[in-house]
């Protein structure tokens, strides 16, 4: 395996681990949560530097339904990550306390929770688009992991995301995703 591929996989694994730990806020406390958030930011930037070819190919090639869906999901994940990061800076009391950010705590808290919850939904669906992986060049690599049916990977991912949204709306947690509930402790 090439060293760049190994680094990409390690960064992605680190982001996954950090994301899972960040979602355990009540168990790890403020300080660790903030420092993990800073680490997640560093990994996020590194991830985008390592995958800059995807950004370069974004406007090139033909857009299949899968590629449109993948780009939409990646954009939503990016928006959720940026919302989490901006609101994290606003809320920081330890790791970034040297920054001259004051006020807006209520807005920051709501944005942070909303971005975190929706980020998990969109990230889960975006991860599933690996069934029909697209490198941004308009050519889908058929990995053979999609079941041999008439339903393509884009259809599967679209249905999956819609079902996730429906499940969240129908369950007791729908207030989290509509920003009407301030906190959730499991």
Question: Over 50: is that where the pLDDT of 144 sits?
Answer: no
Question: Over 70: is that where the pLDDT of 1 sits?
Answer: no
Question: Over 70: is that where the pLDDT of 168 sits?
Answer: no
Domain boundaries, the chain: 1-50, 62-186
Q: Say which residues have a Cβ less than 8 Å from residue 116's Cβ, sequence separation at least 6.
A: 22, 23, 80, 84
User: Do 140 and 71 form a contact (C-beta atoms < 8 A)?
Assistant: no
Tokens at residue 83, please?
A: 């919302």
Q: How confident is the model at residue 172 (pLDDT cuts 50, 70, 90)?
A: low
The residues facing 140 across adjacent strands are 134
Choose between 151 and 102: higher pLDDT. 102
Q: In the chain, pLDDT over 90 holds for what percent of residues?
A: 30
DSSP-assigned states of every residue in 109-176: HHHHHHHHHHHHHHHHHHHHGGGG-B-SSS-B---S-S-SSS--HHHHHHHHHHHHHHHHHHSTTHHH
Helices 25-50 & 3-22, crossing angle to 10 degrees? 150
User: pLDDT digits over 53-109, tens only?
Assistant: 988 999 999 998 888 888 888 899 899 999 999 999 999 999 998 998 888 888 898
The residues facing 134 across adjacent strands are 140
**CA-to-CA distance for 177 and 84, rounded, in angstroms?**
14
User: Given this model, what pLDDT does residue 143 score?
Assistant: 46
What is the rounded average pLDDT of the residues 137-147?
Answer: 45
User: Given this model, what pLDDT does residue 161 score?
Assistant: 65
pTM of the model: 0.70
**CA-to-CA distance for 26 and 46, rounded, in angstroms?**
28
The mean pLDDT value of the chain amounts to 77
Q: Which of these, 86, 170, 161, lies nearest to 122 by C-alpha position?
A: 161
Choose between 84 and 27: higher pLDDT. 84
User: Given this model, what pLDDT does residue 150 score?
Assistant: 43
């Amino acid at each position: 395996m090439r060293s760049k591929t190994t680094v990409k996989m390690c960064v992605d694994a680190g982001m996954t681990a950090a994301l899972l730990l960040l979602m355990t806020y009540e168990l790890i406390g403020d300080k660790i949560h903030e420092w993990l958030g800073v680490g997640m930011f560093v990994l996020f930037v590194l991830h985008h530097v390592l995958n800059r070819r995807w950004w370069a190919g974004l406007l090139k090639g033909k857009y299949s339904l899968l590629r449109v869906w993948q780009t939409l999901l990646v954009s939503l994940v990016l928006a959720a990550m940026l919302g989490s990061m901006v609101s994290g800076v606003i809320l920081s009391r330890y790791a970034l306390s040297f920054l001259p950010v004051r006020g807006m705590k209520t807005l920051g808290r709501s944005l942070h929770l909303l971005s975190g919850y929706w980020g998990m939904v969109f990230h889960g669906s975006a991860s599933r688009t690996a069934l029909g992986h697209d490198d941004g060049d308009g050519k889908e690599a058929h990995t053979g992991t999609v079941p041999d049916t008439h339903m393509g990977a884009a259809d599967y991912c679209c249905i999956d995301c819609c079902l996730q949204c429906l499940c969240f709306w129908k369950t007791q947690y729908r207030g989290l995703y509509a920003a009407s509930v301030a906190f959730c402790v499991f």
